Structures are given as C-alpha cells and as structure tokens.
Structure 1
Amino acid sequence: MTDFLIKDIEMRILRLINLALLILILLVVLYSRAFANDKYNFRQTKWGMSKEEVMKSESSEPDHIFSKGDTLAYHSEIFGEKVLILYKFSFNKLVWAKYILSKYLFEKGKIIEGLPIIDFGKFEDILKKKYGKPKDNGTKFKTKELRDKLRILIESGDGKESTELMDKSIREGKAWWYSAWESKDTLILLHLHGNKGRIIFEISYASLLLKRLTDEDLL
C-alpha cells in the first residue's frame, strides 16, 4: 500500500510539472505573437515554433546526420562563413538555436594558429553593431596557473608565445572566450572553446523563458 501511495504521489507531481511546462510554453507563444512587430528571434523563426513551422522557414532540406530527436540541422552561410545551424526543441517548441562555424567543425588539415581568435573579434564586432555592448564577456580558465602564465606572457610583450598558448589552451578545453548579449526575450552568446584538440566556434540564441526546459548549458 505504501509503495502504491508513493508511486501515485510521484505521478501526480510529474503531471503537475508537465502541466506547468506546457503553460510556460503557451505563455511564451502568446508573448511572441503579441510582439509580432519584432518579427523573428533567429533567422526566420520565433521561440515556441513547432518543428514543422521551422522546417517551412528554411529553404533547404535538413541534414539527416545531425538532425536527431529534438534537434533539426541545416547548412548555410553567414558573413562569408559556412555554418551548421542547429534548432533545439522541447515539447515540439523551439527553445534555442545556434550557428557553428563549419571550417572548425569539419576541420581538414591545420587551422592557422590564432585564426579562431581573429574570427572571434570579427563576429563580436558584428554582434556589437546589432546588440550594442555585451552584457558580459571575458576569458575563462580551468586553472589559476594557466591564467597567470598567460598574463605574464602578454605583459612581457611575447605575442607569438601568448597566442600559441591561448590557441593550445582553447583547443584542449582549458580556456574559452565568450561574449553575451540580451534582447527583450533572447540570450545571444558568442562562444569560442574546444575539445580534444578541436576548435568549437558557436553563436547561440536562446529563449530567456524557454531555455530552462532543456538540460543543456550554453556556456
């Protein structure tokens, strides 16, 4: 009897949580429609759109390798750079999307040292022109020792060695650069990081209300 009561309570709680999430999604959809003059949040889409609506907004077919489960993927080009576009859904409602620079994602051969840092500055300038000064930005390090070592190199004027160390640290996931902006209902994040020797360069857009519906951290 006790086990039955516990399971019944758990089911009731789960139903309440799901109901609350659905109400939140409905509020965001209504909010988006109320501000239709703002037109779109990301490309030709608004937060809360369904998969079907997002697919209609894109002129090409989805990439069937990267499109899995709650994710739709497309290939396109922005500001002279080829990109992979990802759309993320929860309860069939769009909650975030991002551009990933293809030249790093599908890296063939050696990327010029320091190029990711140059690209970061380029896209940061583009985003500043649209959204103004970042709400937050900076460089994060996994260890204080790495941060101090890089600071000493920069202060000594050794540009080559400091660039090499920063590039290597980013590739190994020991350091990352970011700049973040907020519009009325969207978080915009420019993020340069790495994993296992590969560069990951992303520009993410997330609904300020709906991003909590996924367990993925943008930074």
Structure 2
Amino acid sequence: MKRVLVLGGKLQGLEAAYLMKKAGWHVTVMDKNPAAAAAGLADRFLQDDIMTAECLCQEMQQADLVIPALEKLPVLEYISAAASECGARLMFNLHSYNISCSKLRSDKLFQELGVPAPLPWPDCSFPIIVKPSERSGSEGVARIEDEAELSLYQQRYGSLEGQVVQQYVAGPSYSIEIVACKGRLKTFQVTELEMDAVYDCKRVICPSGLSREMEAEFAACAATLAKAVELEGIMDVEVILHEGKL
C-alpha cells in the first residue's frame, strides 16, 4: 500500500487526508494539536510540532509522498529544506508558492503573461475591492462603493500601499486544479464554487456548466500560469466569469 505523510491537520490537511484515503493510500497526519480536524481521518496520527519533530526526516523517508497542508511560510521553508536533505518526495514547490502567496506578485505575473484580470485602481470605476496581498482566502477583503467610503477606509487603516486595490467583478466563480511533475502538466475537471458572506466557499458544484470551449480556455490559462511559476506539484486557479470573460 502506498503511504502519504500529511503535514498539518487543519482544513487543508482534512481535505488531503480524506482524498488520499479515498484513493486507497495509508495516511499519516502530523500536527501539534491533538484535536486537529484531520486526526480522526488518519490511519496514524502523530502529535508533534513539525518544526521540532525529531522523527520528521524518518517519517518523510518512509512515505511515498509528503503533502504540506498549511500556509505558514517559515514552516513551508523548513519542510522544503528537510525534504531536500532527506531525499523525500514533496508535493510542494517553494518557488511557485513565493509567487502565488502574494496577490501583488500574482497580479504582476498576470500582466506580464496577458492573463485577464480585474483592472487596477484608479484605472477602473467603483465599486472596487481592497484586499491584503498575503492573507488567505477572503480574509480582510473589503468592497468599497465610492470615494467617500474609500476615504473612510484610508482614515481607519492608513495607506493602501501593500494592498491590492482593483475593480470589483461580479459573476459565477470557477476553479480548476493542475498538477505538474518534471515538466508534464495535467488539468482536471472544472468546478463551480458557491460563496456566501459567512462561510466563504460554501458549496462546490460539478459538472460546472461551463461550455467545453470555455473549459478548454480555462485549462490553457492554468497551464500557462503553471509553466510561468515552474510548478512542481499541485495548485488551483480560480476565476470569475464576468461579462463573458474568465
């Protein structure tokens, strides 16, 4: 039986453990929290701090695949160095993550590649979106309707420097996963994401309902981005369908 080591037991670890179990793999999860969400799904749970665990290298070597299921950069840097030293097979690419974890760096890449993206402020009209460059998901995102609201926002939070300020685009949201291994790329089925104000992504719908032509366009865009960041591992690309354009 194939073995996977999942590092981190929160939501991402829960998803990884669930899917790897579905695939028939033996799953070990490591997290310092004994009540981590993924602990109950694992065949084996290790309560340990990833940064100080004496058994980390041994566990990595015994696994056919190591999946870091977290977003803290210092921990990811530590895991990447440890995997390299141990000769472990890691489903993660630090170079790619250093781009994708920053919305500002990601937007710059979109511009360089000609990938459609919301217009930056002040080259767009209201409403606009203001969001932190390096926080996860929808955390800290604000929708601003006019100049008065923008002025109030700046009085409360200060300079907009270091934040993404761009056009608000409305429409259904879609996601595609792409895996890269030694230059080979494969995309998977497009899904539609339903959102609400409380839960962020509350439902995933499959099949998505997008036309085959638009799904092919989406897959090609994901492949372009994966090549640009020299992806080795897995990532997803999310889009809004706005006025007929992804």
Higher helix share: 1
TM-score by length of 2: 0.22
Q: Which has the higher contact order (CA 8 A, sep 6+)?
A: 1
